[in-house]
Structure 1
Amino acid sequence: MQAFPRGTTATPTAVVVPPSLALPVVESAFPRRLHPYWPRLQEKTRQWLLEKRLMPADKVREYADGLCYTDLMAGYYLGAPDEVLQAIADYSAWFFVWDDRHDRYVVHGRTGDWRRLRYRLHAALDAPRHHLRHPDPLVGAFADSVLRLYGFLSRTWNQRFARHFHAVIEAYDREFRNRNEGRVPRVEEYLTLRRHTFAHWIWTDLLEPSAGYEFPDAVRKKPAYRRAALLSQEFAAWYNDLCSLPKEIAGDEVHNLGISLITHEGLTLEEAVDEVRRRVERCVSEFTEAERDVLRLADDLADGTVHGKELSSAVRTCVGNMRNWFSTVYWFHHESGRYRVDSWDDRSTPPYVTNEAAGEK
């Protein structure tokens, strides 16, 4: 199956999914769409990466569009106001750069540098305005993106976002320690850790400013809403693991559902691949059931009042975007240069990462 035969990036190539990674149900039942702001989004995020010195100019020119970071967000947050989508896309691009910095620090054993970055990110999350001019571009760009995200909804939403991202930072610290020690977490421990390192609740939080509506706990914590949100995110995390398993085994990585299954459950590589794929497919089938429950919730919220109508509409928008997450994540893994490890000159070093961008000398 091909996605966007003319391509969403500057290179007009068709994408063919390897049979081992193909999910016909996603290709057929989860139509892919892009926010109409996408071309401008791509351009402005490219400019932002340059302005914030997150990637050198030559790397931005050669790789930024092909990494498809803006494609991923433009396929998820449909209906978002342009400025909201732009803030989310810049934050997402920052997140990928941060993930690369974290990886380089692990590879080079730079424990002190990681510890300092961890503390600085915690501080910038709580007081972004005071960190806009931080000498580390990664910290300054983070402060900029967070400050923009904090401007869309209430202080309560900002505090929730901060709480969720503090947990993400700490999960990255646990991952740093595991990788330094060569420790493979057990399956249940890994699944809990993965929900943070993949930032499940962050991407879910961002559905609300995209819909222009902050949900009360009575809606956000409804089992139906949380289940649909979790299934969409679990699909993304586990499909990423499925696509990444061979290269992560080759690279002595310790964080992958398949690696945990092999190490602690005694599965062969083939059995682990089958099990991860089974979990991915189950997320898809269970989401369609959860989606129906959320739509019934939306119907119940439409109580004849203006408030009820607006809340119901926002819930429908958010569950619709949870559905979009399946297709946008699926195609991202087959279009982004981030996953074309076989084409890299050095399989251990992404070509879009430089020593300077990774905080190295």
Structure 2
Amino acid sequence: MPAFPHSTTSTPTAIAVPPSLALPVIEAAFPRRLHPYWPRLQEKTRTWLLEMRLMPADKVAEYADGLCYTDLMAGYYLGAPDEVLQAIADYSAWFFVWDDRHDRDIVHRRPAAWRRLRFRLHAALESPRTHLHHEDPLVAGFADSVLRLYSFLPQSWNRRFARHFHQVIDAYDREFRNRTEGVIPKVDEYLALRRLTFAHWIWTDLLEPSAGLELPNSVRKHPTYRRAALLSQEFAAWYNDLCSLPKEIAGDEVHNLGISLIKHEGLTLEEAVADMRRRVEKCVEEFLVVERDALRLSDDLDDGTVRGKELGTAVRACVRNMRNWFSTVYWFHHESGRYRVDSWDDRSTPPYVNNEAAGEK
């Protein structure tokens, strides 16, 4: 079925989802929408990638739109002010480019380059303004996007975002060591690390500027709200692993739930795929239950006071966008050129990446 039954294009086409990856419950119960700013978003993020020198001009022209990075964010943060969505989309595009640099530094055995980048990103997170003109485009682009994200909510939100992303950088470093040393984490260890490398709490934090309000700890840490957020992110991370499995096996990866299941649980490839499908389907089932409780929480917060109405409205927006994450992640994996391994000349080398480290050949 089409991702958008009422597409804005003149020639809507159905997306062919392989049976092993098809989730009928997502297609039926999680209708997909795009933020109305999306066409402009796509154009401006493409321009930003060029201005920040994050991708060569020829690769931006050939691949940027087809990678669908802006589609992913425009389908998630519904209701966000245009400037907030633009900052999130640029940051998300940066994140994918960073992930590709990390991958290439591993593949080409560049530990010194990765170490330098890691230290610079930690520093830029604490002081983005002083890194806006850094020689490494990846550092400068990160500083630019983070500085914009820091402008929407109070310092307390900025400190939380920084704390969460420091953890993501350190998790990427653990992945770097695992991959260069050929270490396949055990399943439980991998699942804990995946919450960080997928940046579960970063994408959840960004629900708040989209809703225009920093949520108090009493709400963010409420078991119902936290569970709904975690389920939406776990679904995304594990579905990503399911869709990425052919690409990552081709690239001698060690960081994938399926690979951990095969190595440490003794599953065949077919059994691992079935196990991963069960996990993602369970996330959907549990979310449909918890979502109702989270929406009741938003109603309870709306106690007739001005503050209560503000909180209830923000939580309702955040929970509805958690729901959007399911559909936008699902369709992204079938629309984006990032996962079309069979169309690549080299199944282990994405055609949209730059194989050089910054300043190195």
Which bin holds the TM-score, normalised by the shorter protein?
over 0.9
For normalisation by structure 1, the TM-score amounts to 0.97
The 5 A counterparts of 1:35-74 are 35-74=35-74
Q: CA 1:31/1:319 → structure 2, altered by over 3 Å: closer, same or farther?
A: same
Alignment-derived partner of residue 317 in structure 2? 317
Contact 2:250 2:348 in 1 (8 A): no
Equivalent pair of 1:125/1:146 in contact (CA under 8 Å): yes
Asked if the contact 1:7/1:14 (under 8 Å) is kept, the reply is no
For 1:82, the aligned partner's letter is: D
Amino acid at match of 1:249: I
The one-letter code sitting in structure 1 at the alignment partner of 2:226 is R
1:353 aligns with 2:357: no
Query: Which residue of 1 is the match for residue 249 of structure 2?
Result: 249
DSSP 3-state at the match of 1:15? coil
Shift of 1:97: 0.2
Instruction: Give the corresponding residue for 1:78.
Output: 78
**1:267 deviation in Å?**
1.1
Note the 1:110-129 alignment, pairs <5 A.
110-129=110-129
Q: Match of 2:228, SS?
A: helix
Q: Which residue of 1 aligns with 2:328?
A: 328
What are the residue-to-residue correspondences of 1:187-202 with 2, within 5 Å?
A: 187-202=187-202
What whole-Å deviation, never above 9, does each CA across 1:290-320 have from its counterpart, x for those lacking one?
1011111111101110110110010000000
Residue 279 (structure 1) aligns with: 279
Identity in percent: 83
Q: How far off is 1:350 after superposition?
A: 1.0
**Deviation for aligned residue 1:248:** 1.7
8 Å contact kept, 2:208–2:318: yes
- 1:117-196 alignment to 2 at 5 Å? 117-196=117-196
Aligned-CA RMSD value: 1.6
Q: 1:8–1:71: 8 Å Cα contact kept in structure 2?
A: no
Q: Deviations over 1:211-248 (max 9, x none)?
A: 00100000000000000000000000000111111232
| Alpha-carbon separation, structure 1, partners of 2:144 and 2:150 | 10
Distance 1:88 1:72, change over 3 A: same
Q: Deviations over 1:154-197 (max 9, x none)?
A: 00000000000000000000000000010000001000000000
Q: Retained in 1: the 8 A contact 2:246–2:341?
A: no
The answer to whether the 8 A contact 2:299-2:312 is kept is yes
Corresponding residue pairs, total: 361
Tell me how far apart the structure 2 counterparts of residues 246 and 355 of structure 1 sit (CA, whole Å). 21
Tell me if the contact between 2:258 and 2:272 (Cα under 8 Å) persists in the aligned partners.
yes
Please tell me whether the aligned partners of residues 131 and 139 of structure 1 are also in contact (alpha carbons under 8 angstroms). yes
Q: Sort the Cα spacing of 1:150 and 1:181 in 2 relative to 1 into closer, same or farther, 3 A.
A: same
TM-score, with normalisation over the residues of structure 2? 0.97
Letter in 2 for 1:214: E
Whole-Å Cα distance in 1 between the matches of residues 332 and 9 of structure 2?
11
SS of the residue corresponding to residue 21 of structure 1 reads coil
Q: Give the C-alpha shift of residue 346 in structure 1.
A: 1.3
| DSSP-derived class of the 1:36 partner | coil
Distance 1:85 1:66, change over 3 A: same
Q: Compared with structure 1, are the counterparts of its residues 195 and 66 closer, same or farther at alpha carbon in structure 2 (3 Å cutoff)?
A: same
> 1:208 is matched with which residue?
208
Which sections of structure 1, spanning at least 5 residues, go unmatched? none
User: Is the 8 Å Cα contact of residues 208 and 214 (structure 1) preserved in structure 2?
Assistant: yes
In structure 1, distance between residues paired with 2:66 and 2:269: 30
> Per-residue CA shift, 1:95-136, capped at 9, x if unaligned?
000000000000010000000000000000000000000000
Q: CA deviation at 1:7?
A: 6.9
SS state at 1:19 partner: coil
Q: Is the 8 A contact 1:5 1:15 kept in 2?
A: no
Amino acid at match of 1:106: I
In structure 1, C-alpha distance between the alignment counterparts of 2:345 and 2:269, rounded to whole Å? 26
The SS at the match of 1:77 is coil
Structure 2 letter corresponding to 1:38: W
1:260 aligns with 2:260: yes
**Would the aligned equivalents of 2:136 and 2:358 in 1 still touch at CA under 8 Å?**
no
Aligned partner letter, 1:39: P
Native 8 Å contact 1:179 1:254 kept in 2: yes
Match runs of 1:331-342 below 5 Å? 331-342=331-342
Partner of residue 222, structure 2: 222
Contiguous gaps of at least 5 residues in structure 2: none
Distance 1:327 1:29, change over 3 A: same
Deviation, structure 1 residue 4: 2.8
**Cα displacement string for residues 85-104 of structure 1 (whole angstroms, at most 9, x for unaligned residues):** 00000000000000000000
Partners of 2:247 and 2:348 within 8 A in 1: no
2:344 corresponds to 1:344: yes
Alignment of 1:89-128 (within 5 A): 89-128=89-128
Give the CA deviation at 1:14.
3.1
Letter in 2 for 1:240: N
Change in 2 beyond 3 A, CA 1:10/1:74 = farther
Secondary structure of the structure 2 residue equivalent to 1:20? coil
In structure 2, the CA distance between the partners of 1:348 and 1:250, relative to structure 1 (3 Å rule), is closer
Q: Which residue in the other structure is 2:22 paired with? A: 22
The CA distance in 2 between the partners of 1:10 and 1:101, in whole Å, is: 37
